[in-house]
Structure 1
């Protein structure tokens, strides 16, 4: 009955008992809500208890408990974050850096869709918030999960922390039964400055910029710390849905606003590239006064049906692009030029600068690309910076390309010292002393030391354990360097024999600085967890030159399984069937093909890879759901002019149905789709007895008529 008595009408004993009761109720509710995902109270009931607890504490401050609910947020979280697999991948965006890029974006969209230049095509334009991507999953209107982007497929579970953000609704009315809302966690300029002032006063680490502060705050293992940080959230997209939000991008954003999310008021509908660029200029002019960081404007095709037709590339949607703001500039002194050796042996010059703030970030290093760039030439031998070279001691203008990577843009010759000497690229590797050779046509000088070069070995190992590769918990760059220096690992296969070599004598690892029995055991278990891994991750992890994450995915989808991939790379030689098959993959060119073949055909490299594969259970690449598809597993070639869909759209449709699309006709071709103007490919298909269909026949075959 005490809950019905006004706080100031309670006696001290009654207040003490009531505070104890409220503490128990709220502790139980927090555990049920945050940890067990089984709420015992409605939001209104929970909030009423919190308000009553605060009112009694205000009336009886001396009775405030050490475990007061007013000092707690959520429930304690476990050590580290668990992983969340996104139902719909959280992809990045392609970039545009000038007006021509925006026009080309529109032209690409129209070409893909087969739309005339004067056909209506609307886009949304919205500020690109410089924060941390967050996905919020609601079921039956209740927030049940929050996850960071991570690698796009798997993110960190930050549900307890996200619940502390005022802009994140705990429940929704009239929402689809399943709704994943996506957006950006950020921190305002004023809140950032206040936070840094508090951090400095307390003798704690300050943050370089609002984005880092927001990311660090959201990823705290203690939700109390996150709650103390002034985080905000803008919603701008969605993932999994049980029912559409609207027919258009703008309509869907408006619906999110109606559901209670903060959406950016500068989002606008544009009918042409000219209108998009005009809005970009308007947002750019307001950039310094918005009160939060943005680094560009994002354009998206407004019609969601067209978005569906356009689909996705391996890492980005075709229907969206980020128009980045020009890089910001600052002048500072170049103190030194250091040479770093990468995992492919590339010698990369790095500028060591007197620290300077560029676009709100303190910059002390900048890339210098290669020796030609330092000398004042581009990759075609033409002059840049009016031919001015870069020398140690120079005053240089620094900019942040895309607001991310610092680069040197210009040199002030009026401040150059008379004794400043031109920079000369070393002819030998600074790490191993091997010859550093620049091959004809290559802009980069490379170490020839290969496996004997410690820099290459260490960088390859760091790449191997990186997030998009094996992503082994507890084995990051720092641990890789430590283990390599101590002779524990020299190649990737050695990682998977650590338990056999040192696990039985666990004392050897747990007695090392920074390690204990629990962390050592956790490391061995984490390594074992990655013995079963997807094909694309393995291909990417090998660190083969020119083979990035997107290319690894393409190769995995094409070959399906490790034996098929490795055998093909071992057999591929220019002109043979394996080589032609490799080049038939859209996105694989001769340069990448040579790099793949060279890696697998060198005895030492191949042996190292084989030693690694012996420890792994490699999962086959996930194939499209092609049940009932009449072209699943078949090789299809398109030729001539298609009149009812563009070539790009036809290719994407065929691949979605499980077909392999090739650019050339061979004995392995199962089907040729020939439009008007078909030439030699149709002739060759006829000579080989390959089935040939016209466009209508193709559409009828796949059920699209």
Structure 2
């Protein structure tokens, strides 16, 4: 029988997908580039002549061409956590001790992977087809860059086998060194400045508006984590091995280590061997291999307990300290900054470095004109770690720390036991005022589109705002005449401010800038007090009885609400319609039935998955602990509960209940 047009198109698509996989994932092409291009052109022609067979996942669609003016913000289905960092063998051993204490077993295996230096991405697949690609963002939400991601040929648009019906897979978008160097050679030849480093270039590529431009860049994607509600795999290593079979590029440098000594050998092996790789790495990620044990270990407020990153020793360079300047933070904290002769360090040009505080300056005896040693703390923030005294100028003078605020000239204070100096002029210091407003509008807080640090500075300078409540009185007519503003920009700002009135109470509580009240503490306080008025009336004793609220935070909350200026600002926000109480929707299904009760969850469950069970406990006012202690009220036991946990529970006389017992308890 003659082959139909549709069949011919589908056969060409399957063949080209296989050639893409061979070339970009396996690095083992079986046809020449010329032959591949001929087949691609044949497919393009057939698709153009037969538009009824269009497929957005066809290999012809990888060349890009779609323009994205703005990238939609998407809330992650599963939060993208950060990793805790370690810098020594002792840190790794301490981590092992912590997880063994929680799991109460020595039977733990580890998977070790290299830490790829690029931009994190979350890929979602439904029925074997890529449906979205979202950047890490702040971990809770990121930008939808699916159009640009589809141009990266090592990322499969259609999977070549059966896997989980719906799942996410996470990885790092990287720019291999050869491709990066080629791009820079071409830029220099064209009279343009070279890119600074592969990591930033890869990250910036994801936000280019023209996907055709992205397709020209030799980006790659290395995968490292699979997430699924009903994951059939038993281990992290097994999940990634299966992902490789489906067409994902999972580096073969990954290994399973049966002991922590093997982990340390892996770290040592790659300390020098990593420089032979075609891409940049800055460390090793160690994970508990068993998915069941990962589940049991869970997460802290910021990171998974079951994983840790080992960072290799930071690169160090020497340069001249030209000047020390001082920055004022939104809380009034003063940070001294070293202004340096530009120096290349870990792939970037460094001109400034932190000196932390007066004690650090005194300890290092760092002076203007000194030759200083600079390295990147955690290979992110440059810092001065020493002085080459052999090169100190003869006329060198010790550094005198400033006594007055560089912005408002108020005399600085330094509280006992505090490392930093502070400007006490909280409501009169321009940098503190704009800093608080910038914090208020930031992504993790009110997330106001159209507003950035420069616009806030401009609005303050023009006298249009002097606090964050003033934002809600701005009009388009006030904004349009400002420098670099237009009608559309003004409309976007006003629309963004209006939309911020929908932001939930816990984020508003973080946004108003109570000292020491970060995202996690704000959630705890919001959940406990339900509205701003109840929090405002709280006493010191009330506050320290709230889960994880210590004396320092409690006193800071009291100080905030004892200031009349803050009370007025809160009342204004309330009048503008900002959410200063938990919504009815967020309270739906929540009770205080388990108030004061502490649960430990252990084993494998049939009615709940472990995360849903923990959420149910918290929704009903209980607390979930990671390990058994005298304070534990109940242990909810599933199948395969560890024998050591069982023995400890019996020794301490802690009741062990089933899922069904728990359901009866809350119903």
In which range does the TM-score fall when normalised by the shorter chain?
0.7 to 0.9
Change beyond 3 A, Cα 1:95–1:655: farther
Does residue 211 of structure 2 align to residue 235 of structure 1? no
Cα displacement (A) at 1:346: 0.7
Match of 1:41 in 2: 55
| Offset from partner CA, 1:303-334 (integer Å, 9 cap, x none) | 11111111222221111111111211111110
1:298 match: secondary structure: strand
Does residue 459 of structure 2 align to residue 483 of structure 1? yes
Does residue 510 of structure 2 align to residue 528 of structure 1? no
Aligned residue among 169, 174, 179 for 1:186:
174
2:55, 2:528 → 1: CA distance? 51
Change beyond 3 A, Cα 1:123–1:623: farther
2:457 match: secondary structure: helix
Is the contact made by 1:76 and 1:222 (CA closer than 8 Å) also made in structure 2?
yes
Cα displacement (A) at 1:659: 2.6
1:93, 1:655 → 2: CA distance? 26
Is the contact made by 1:301 and 1:307 (CA closer than 8 Å) also made in structure 2?
yes
Equivalence map 1:193-272=2 (5 Å): 193-239=181-227, 241=228, 243-272=230-259
Match of 1:594 in 2: 555
Structure having the higher Rg: 1
Match of 2:543 in 1: 579
Does residue 151 of structure 2 align to residue 164 of structure 1? yes
Change beyond 3 A, Cα 1:621–1:297: farther
Cα displacement (A) at 1:199: 2.6
Gaps of 5+ in 2: 9-40, 604-610, 626-630, 636-651
Cα displacement (A) at 1:549: 2.5
Cα displacement (A) at 1:206: 3.2
1:275 match: secondary structure: helix
Equivalence map 1:397-408=2 (5 Å): 397-408=373-384
| Offset from partner CA, 1:611-666 (integer Å, 9 cap, x none) | 23332135628999996x9x854322559xx9989xxx9x9688446333499xxx
Match of 2:348 in 1: 361
Cα displacement (A) at 1:136: 1.1
1:197 match: secondary structure: helix
TM-score, scaled to structure 2: 0.83
Does residue 462 of structure 2 align to residue 462 of structure 1? no
Match of 2:521 in 1: 551
Change beyond 3 A, Cα 1:272–1:455: same
Is the contact made by 1:248 and 1:302 (CA closer than 8 Å) also made in structure 2?
yes
Aligned residue among 141, 148, 152 for 2:135:
148
1:305, 1:657 → 2: CA distance? 23
Match of 1:673 in 2: 633
Cα displacement (A) at 1:207: 2.2
1:330 match: secondary structure: strand
Does residue 304 of structure 2 align to residue 314 of structure 1? no
Change beyond 3 A, Cα 1:567–1:250: same
Change beyond 3 A, Cα 1:205–1:517: farther
Aligned residue among 507, 510, 525 for 2:480:
510
2:43, 2:297 → 1: CA distance? 57
Is the contact made by 1:429 and 1:435 (CA closer than 8 Å) also made in structure 2?
yes
Does residue 320 of structure 2 align to residue 333 of structure 1? yes
Cα displacement (A) at 1:440: 1.4
TM-score, scaled to structure 1: 0.78
Cα displacement (A) at 1:28: 9.6
2:623, 2:122 → 1: CA distance? 34
Match of 1:689 in 2: none
Change beyond 3 A, Cα 1:454–1:41: closer
1:125, 1:545 → 2: CA distance? 39
Aligned residue pair count = 597
Change beyond 3 A, Cα 1:244–1:26: farther
1:477, 1:26 → 2: CA distance? 47
Q: Which has the higher contact order (CA 8 A, sep 6+)?
A: 2
Aligned residue among 562, 568, 572 for 2:535:
568
Match of 2:571 in 1: 610
Change beyond 3 A, Cα 1:542–1:339: same
| Offset from partner CA, 1:184-235 (integer Å, 9 cap, x none) | 1001111111112223333445322111000111111110111111100011
1:180 match: secondary structure: strand
Aligned residue among 570, 594, 602 for 1:634:
594
2:199, 2:468 → 1: CA distance? 34
Is the contact made by 1:654 and 1:661 (CA closer than 8 Å) also made in structure 2?
no
| Offset from partner CA, 1:385-409 (integer Å, 9 cap, x none) | xxx4111111110110110011111
2:305 match: secondary structure: coil
1:612, 1:226 → 2: CA distance? 43
2:46, 2:213 → 1: CA distance? 22
Change beyond 3 A, Cα 1:27–1:532: farther
Cα displacement (A) at 1:277: 1.3
Gaps of 5+ in 1: 5-18, 33-38, 51-68, 377-387, 664-670, 676-692
2:601, 2:133 → 1: CA distance? 45
